[in-house]
Amino acid sequence: MRVKELKLVVTFHTTADAMAMEKACKQAQAPGRLIPVPRAISAGCGLAWCAPLDCEEQLRSLMAQVGLEEENIHTCMV
Amino acid sequence: MIYLDNAATTLHKPPQVIQAVAEAMASMGNAGRGAHGSSLSAARTIYEARCQAAALFGCARPDHVVFTANATESLNIAIGGLFAPGDHIISTDLEHNSVLRPLYRLERSGVAVSFMPADRLGRVDYDDLDRLLRPETKAVVCTHASNLTGNMLDLARIGRFTREHGLLLVADASQTAGAAPIDMAAMNIDVLCFTGHKGMMGPQGTGGLCVREGVEIRPWAVGGSGVQSYSQTQPEEYPTRLEAGTHNGHGLAGLSAAMAFLTETGVETIHAREMALMRRFYDGVRTIDGVTVYGDFDAPDRAAIVSLNIRDYDSGDVSDALAEEYGIATRPGAHCAPRMHRALGTEEQGAVRFSFSWYNTETEADAAVRAVAALAAETA
């Protein structure tokens, strides 16, 4: 397995919200990518946005701008 | 064959729709069921389709675009998920069975339904809205255009009434989505139900409903959602609230391509073209001896449908003769619109419906006029 590092992980209520996040980040050239929700966060399934730790403010601002509500914003080893 | 049964389904689709479906079938995984490339490709396509539908219909939020198999499913979800015993709903005689049967089913569970009657031209009197209003009225559920006469209802006017009285407006856009401009916000539509395979020129098996923010429709089917897997109930958030199980991703890829075509071409351009073809045909047949045309052709707007009968002949016989002798595809019979046929007095005879789309031509409309004239002369 890959070596894990501490990352920012944004989870969403729906897949549609996760896809909206990807679209917004691509348009704004914000960093990150969609990953399966890590088990440390939820034992369920679904998509999460994974980005470097120092992007939190940028991502929060972007999400507010496009009206996107996260389920939660975590920091965890990914 | 000259295909004039576009109110049933459009036969001719933009080539990019067919290509998109084929490409999706060769590449698409299951949306929201993983984070690998194939799954994400499907999820991106479906999300893009939500954004396109929201833009096309004036729905404020793409995540409030719910995909279904067709307008019937959408209408069942909306009508079945919004009301409770004791409520009262206003509808119209113009409705298709996809509205009527869910309403009749509600009636059996204690919901009252009143219908705005239609006259012999298939028109409603909008003053009936006030006459039918009760303290327990919760909504107007109605079509945008009759699938039999093509008569269009003034949704903006009905939307002003529903907004003024705190009611919901649930609209069936089966005959108009993609073929006539629709703006949920401007028309005050709370739930817009559409199908993908008619005026939108997408694949069969695609459709949906656009829901205004704050309108809570009870989930109908529950099951796999790709999220919140350990919850025993369906997630409450739209669109997952009303979407259980695998999407028709391949079909939605085609619908997405169709919506791109509609946007590029312009719905108003398409509507004007279809109206011109319909009007050309109507002007050709309306004065033929023995031909009776149904509907209101003086209204400011309508759908591209002309239904008629020749003398008292069985509409099935006429439609069959058109197909066999002239290679023209039409739809006879009752068109799943029993109340409309009763209002027109065509319950026994049915009617022969000619319906036009973007891909029809003036030559085809003229050929259909000549065929009707020839059949009318034969039977005289």
The burial of B359, by beta-carbon neighbours within 10 Å (0-12 exposed, 13-18 middle, 19 or more buried), is given as middle
Q: Please tell me whether residues B295 and B160 are part of one structural domain.
A: no
Amino acid at B109: S
Where are the extended beta strands (E) located within chain B? 2-3, 65-68, 88-92, 112-116, 137-143, 168-172, 191-195, 207-211, 291-294, 305-310, 328-329, 352-355
Mutation target for A interface from B36, B46, B63, B231: give the one with most A CBs within 10 A. Answer: B63
Do B259 and B303 lie in one domain? The reply is no
Give Cβ neighbours of residue A64 (< 8 Å, ≥ 6 apart): none
Residue B63 and residue B46 in contact, taking contact as beta carbons nearer than 8 Å:
no
- Set out the domains of chain A in order of their start, with CATH numbers: 6-77 (3.30.70)
Comparing C-alpha atoms, which of B86, B102, B84 is closest to residue B136?
B86
Paired sense of beta strands B112-116 and A47-51, if any: unpaired
DSSP A15: H
pLDDT in tens, chain B (380 residues): 999 999 999 999 999 999 999 999 999 999 987 889 999 999 999 999 999 999 999 999 999 999 999 999 999 999 999 999 999 999 999 999 999 999 999 999 999 999 999 999 999 999 999 999 999 999 999 999 999 999 999 999 999 999 999 999 999 999 999 999 999 999 999 999 999 999 999 999 999 999 999 999 999 899 988 888 889 999 999 999 999 999 999 999 999 999 999 999 999 999 999 999 999 999 999 999 999 999 999 999 999 999 999 999 999 999 999 999 999 999 999 999 999 999 999 999 999 999 999 999 999 999 999 999 999 998 65
**Same domain, yes or no: B165 and B40:** yes
DSSP characters over B209-238: EEE-TT--PPPSS----SS-TT-SS--SST
- Encoded tokens for B226: 């790709």
Contact A19 B46 (CB under 8 A): yes
Given B218, B240, B265, the domain boundary residue is: B265
d(CA B139, CA B133): 10
Same domain, B213 and B304: no
* Cross-chain residue pair A44–B230, CB shorter than 8 Å: yes
Q: Which domain holds residue B62?
A: 15-265
Same domain, B336 and B191: no
The radius of gyration of chain B's CA atoms, rounded to the nearest angstrom, is 21
- Using beta carbons and an 8 Å cutoff, which residues of B are at the interface with A? 31-35, 40, 43-44, 46-48, 50-51, 62-63, 226-231, 235, 237-240
Residues B289, B276, single domain; the answer is yes
Do B32 and B115 fall into the same domain? yes
> B88-92 and B112-116 as β-strands: parallel, antiparallel, unpaired?
parallel
Q: Which one of B227, B233, B243 would you mutate to disrupt binding with A, by most A Cβ within 10 Å of its Cβ?
A: B227
Bridge-partner residues for B239, per DSSP?
none
Residue ending a domain, among B265, B284, B302, is B265
Q: Does residue B76 sit in the same domain as residue B171?
A: yes
Cβ–Cβ under 8 Å, residues B54 and B61: yes
Q: Are B258 and B201 in contact (CB under 8 A)?
A: yes
The answer to whether residues B156 and B87 belong to one domain is yes
